[in-house]
Amino acid sequence: MNSHMNRWGPVFKKIPLDIIAVFFLFFFFCPHPASADDIEPAYGDAIVIGSISDARTLVPILASDSASSDITGLVFNGLVKYDKDVSLVGDLAESWDILDGGITIVFHLRKNVRWHDGAPLTSKDVEFTYRKLIDPNVKTPYSGDFERVKSFEIIDDYTVKVTYKEPFSPALSSWGMPIMPYHLLKDEDLNSTAFARSPIGTGPYKFKSWKTGEKIELVSNHDYFEGRPYIDRYIYRVIPDESTIFLELQTSGVDMTGLTPLQFTRQTDNKFFKANYRKFRYPSFGYTYLGYNLSDPKFRDKRVRQAFNYAINKDEIIKTIFFGLARTTTGPFMCDSWAYNNDVKPAGFDPERAKGLMKEAGWRDANGDGLVEKDGKPFEFTVLINQGNAERLRTAEMIQGYLKAIGVNMKIRVLEWSSMISEFINKRRFEAVLMGWFLSRDPDNFDIWHSSKTREGEFNFIGYANPEVDKLLEEGRRIFDEKMRAQVYHKIHALIYEDQPYMFLYSGEILPIVSSRFRGIEVSPIGIGYNFIKWHVPKNEQRYRSAR
């Protein structure tokens, strides 16, 4: 959904993709070396982030978009997280024991962690979070991993025992899920709680304020168990237009944002930007797609979806809009993942074959006006995209032209992000959407593709159902051996590409830019944000006062 798909800590997974998301929870390799930094770290200053999208909710298990998850990722912690070498390490859990061949995990919690209101973190908080994740009345898209749990037992205040129904390969990584406070939420309806606008977590930053459509402000947690962050304030500015954000960069109104390919390649290669900013370039662990509402009669016939796939020149979209800073993709896994099936080749640009498939599906130009129709109704539909994302809009416009060439009239509707997700996507009030996913390191994507994950707020909002894919998704979760799992996911990849519930378009690169006054930025296989609490600004370069 939004440039969503950041992962908690960074372990959380499967979040919709938009342009700005996931600055601090990257999973990507950056080829650019970091400059030497011998300056003594100093506390103070603020970092101002520019984003086209506002958050929707700060209840972490309901946060299914990048803007919300960016904020909750700084306010909350999971039991585990990935380190800079992409290895799972403890976060709220200081250690764990894996027993019975992986069926059981015993977590030992840190004893020095407190919620932002001063209450101690205990096993009750972990149990509470688990119970809410499997509560059918809670509209969370993340229940799939936790429905595999057979029993959850509190051993003592700082020890919990989780036993699974069967071997579950993503088990440990799934506990990167942010833990919520039992003492504050035990009597709350998570779908409507005021906590969504004023959260209290255990993370490196505390919530301060939220002015809808304008900004969210966090302040550093001086008592954070891993040490006080050097940057005192985190200001997330909502600026719903990429061009305006770029102007704010030029006037130092924002310190960090994501560049468009045009901005990265042509508009920031000058003295001003070289002197004041540092650019980074990451292969994205995500992809952009055109998704169809499969309950809509127009899209039920697989031949129609396959025809659309042949009708679109994806290479031309990448060349024209992304200046080569993207690549075609054919399936639900990332191009560099061991789960990705390289034997599945992208459909070539073939308008004639597309027209043939449309005719087979009963869509013909009966009156010579250039539009195909069936039962007297022309093939017309509307695609939804989020405002402020110029690349998405241009991609939609190019798709519109390609589809017109095969007799299909596609309209484009641009919506504010939060409204688009809450009022249209979650409620299935759409015909097609142009969106994207950021994915986790573990390729399990049960929550996106399994036919059981179609409730309001869940990720299979297109209504995809293939019994063979369901069976393989379930099988892949029971296998620990990577080579054996790969065989399962390669089959899933091939089946989904054949079905075309999405038109898989491209995997773009992530192009963040950061003010050069920030020091301590270190490049790693998971990007630059893993050590954000160590970023700092020399005293003589600080621009913003502390705000407590």
- Does the pLDDT value for residue 225 go beyond 90? yes
- Does the pLDDT value for residue 367 go beyond 60? yes
Distance of CA 337 to the CA centre of its chain: 17
Tokens 């924002």 sit on residue: 254
| Secondary structure letter of residue 91 according to DSSP | S
Residue 37 confidence (pLDDT): 55
Give 209's strand partners. Answer: 217
Residue 240 confidence (pLDDT): 87
pTM of the model: 0.84
Distance of CA 359 to the CA centre of its chain: 37
- Does the pLDDT value for residue 252 go beyond 60? yes
CA distance 522 to 531: 7
- CB 42: neighbour CB atoms within 10 A? 15
**306 pLDDT band (50/70/90 cuts)?**
very high
- Does the pLDDT value for residue 337 go beyond 70? yes
261 touches 321 (CB < 8 A) = yes
Cβ-Cβ contacts under 8 Å for 388 (sequence gap 6 or more): 19, 52, 53, 239, 240, 241, 242, 417
| Secondary structure letter of residue 103 according to DSSP | T
308-329 average pLDDT score: 96
Strands 432-438 and 286-292 come out as antiparallel
Cβ-Cβ contacts under 8 Å for 434 (sequence gap 6 or more): 288, 289, 290, 291, 383, 384, 385, 392, 395, 396, 399
Helix, strand, coil % in the chain, rounded to nearest 5: 30, 25, 50
Query: In 326-370, at which residue ranges do the beta strands (DSSP E only) sit?
Result: 326-327
**524 pLDDT band (50/70/90 cuts)?**
confident
Q: 286 or 546: which carries more pLDDT confidence?
A: 286
- Does the pLDDT value for residue 546 go beyond 90? no
Residue 38 confidence (pLDDT): 62
Q: 318 or 38: which carries more pLDDT confidence?
A: 318
Residue 283 confidence (pLDDT): 78
Phi/psi for 49 (5° steps) reads: -100, 135
235-264 average pLDDT score: 95
Strands 432-438 and 380-386 come out as parallel
Q: Percent of the chain, pLDDT > 90?
A: 81
In the three-class reduction of DSSP (H, G, I as helix; E, B as strand; rest coil), residue 159 is classed as strand
- CA 126, 131, 134, 136 dihedral sign is negative
- Does the pLDDT value for residue 527 go beyond 90? no
CA distance 57 to 63: 6
Residue 40 confidence (pLDDT): 85
- CB 508: neighbour CB atoms within 10 A? 26
293-308 average pLDDT score: 98
- Of 78-82, 293-297, 393-397, 438-442, minimum mean pLDDT range: 438-442
- Alpha-carbon dihedral angle through residues 445, 447, 451, 454, given to the nearest 10 degrees: -150
326 touches 374 (CB < 8 A) = no
257-272 average pLDDT score: 94
**86 pLDDT band (50/70/90 cuts)?**
confident
**20 pLDDT band (50/70/90 cuts)?**
very low
433-449 average pLDDT score: 92
Q: Is the peptide bond prior to 10 cis by the omega test (within 30 degrees of 0)?
A: yes
Tokens 């299935």 sit on residue: 428
- Does the pLDDT value for residue 18 go beyond 60? no
In order of start, what are the domains of the chain with their CATH numbers?
15-76+196-283+512-541 (3.40.190.10), 80-185 (3.90.76.10), 286-509 (3.10.105.10)
What average pLDDT is seen over the chain? 91
Residue 547 confidence (pLDDT): 62
Of 100, 113, 185, which Cα lies nearest the Cα of 151? 100
85-108 average pLDDT score: 94
**548 pLDDT band (50/70/90 cuts)?**
low
331-342 average pLDDT score: 93
CA distance 233 to 48: 8
Tokens 């609490």 sit on residue: 533
Phi/psi for 263 (5° steps) reads: -65, -40
- Does the pLDDT value for residue 25 go beyond 50? no
- Does the pLDDT value for residue 35 go beyond 80? no
Phi/psi for 466 (5° steps) reads: -140, 110
384 touches 427 (CB < 8 A) = no
Token digits of residue 145: 């991993």
- Alpha-carbon dihedral angle through residues 270, 273, 275, 278, given to the nearest 10 degrees: -120
